[in-house]
Amino acid sequence: MEKILPTQRRPNFIPAFSTTIANSRRKAIEDAKQLHTTHQVRVYSDGSQYEGGVGAAAVIYLGNKFQKSLTTTSALKTSTPYMKPK
């Protein structure tokens, strides 16, 4: 069984970043164009599931310049009930 450790935060904790998840590809593109003009650092991420395994990827931009891409398939070996799409 996978163990996920909780993280403690004060009730008034406000993260230093924001996240958005668009409802459609069109909306995601519109949001990305808007964020490009207002935010210096942007991280785009994706998760996928295939044949019971789970992978993840992230791409980091600083201004207009690509900085780094990160991928993993080993850290998230198998899907669990809370990770399966509805």
- 25 lies in a domain? no
- 71 lies in a domain? yes
- 45 lies in a domain? yes
- Contact yes or no for 32/45 (Cβ under 8 A): no
Amino acid at position 80, single letter: T
- 11 lies in a domain? no
Mean pLDDT of 27-31: 89
Mean pLDDT of 49-60: 76
Strand order in the sheet with 41-50: 41-50, 53-62, 65-72
The chain-wide mean pLDDT, for the chain, equals 77
Q: Which residue has the tokens 């992978």?
A: 55
Phi/psi of residue 79, nearest 5 degrees: -80, 155
Rounded Cα distance between 17 and 35, Å, is 13
Q: Which residue has the higher pLDDT, 41 or 75?
A: 41
Number of domains in the chain: 1
- 16 lies in a domain? no
- 68 lies in a domain? yes
Domain that holds residue 48: 41-86
